[in-house]
Amino acid sequence: MTAEVRVGSVRIGGGNPLALIAGPCVIEDESHLLRVGERLLEFCGTAGVPLILKASFDKANRTSHRSYRGPGLAEGLRILGTVKRKLGVPVLSDVHESAQVEAAAEVLDVLQIPALLCRQTDLLLAAGRAGKPVNVKKGQFLAPGDMRNAVEKIRSVGNEQVLLTERGSSFGYHNLVVDMRSLPIMRGLGVPVIFDGTHSVQLPGGAGAASSGEREFVAPLVRAAVAAGCDGLFLEVHPNPDRAPSDGPTMLPLEAVPALLAEATAIARALSPELP
């Protein structure tokens, strides 16, 4: 059994029920994030799934410099803090530089390390020292066992609250595949493992100046990951993904969330009948 990571009232791993990290790819504005968060809370309440709301204040690794990146650190954290207070829900966002960590940790309940930065030692150490749970996305270029080093870097500064997220592996150019063996392998490091069902269907750079994706495969991959024993799900969702400013082709339509949660929780209960 993995260690338990506590994010406010949300318990991940350690035999706890499936948790959900979900929200839009990037912060568009305060009212948009609030509306999405309200609907997700409603869906999660019905499904009996605890929610951590996510949205990025800065997408610093967009394919093109012309792409929308978000409102930035100061305004993004203000929005996340406001939505957090209004909804009473934990929040998560990415940090891309060590200099962002202190301010982010004052608002965020989970600091997330993007996949492309999962080997950045200074960033991992700074996030660990902040004392908040840290979610590290596995790099598309790494074997799952190699994530031991990321875990050890964070633990080396006294922070045991580590999550790892699987989000697919590079398979040639402009394509990702998911090796479900990675879930038990990373859980074997003693940390809870999250499955990112939306970034896993990404086609990196597949649209030339932006990434493309195949959202029709989100649901089957999520079902497989829950069956393989993940501790939580990560989903980027949007009321109208085709009009979203970032990662539209991979985001799940917001109204598709209830059906997917129903399937995921049914699979989890079938594997562990003692779960509520």
The per-residue pLDDT for 203 is: 86
What's the pTM?
A: 0.95
Per-residue pLDDT tens digits for 96-152: 999 999 999 999 999 999 999 999 999 999 999 999 999 999 999 999 999 999 999
Task: Name, in order, each residue with C-beta under 8 angstroms of 163's C-beta and a sequence gap of 6 or more.
Answer: 5, 12, 13, 110, 133, 134, 135, 136, 191, 192, 193, 194, 232
**Spelled out in words, what is the top-level CATH class assigned to the domain 5-271?**
alpha beta
Residues of the chain with pLDDT under 70: 1, 62, 206-211
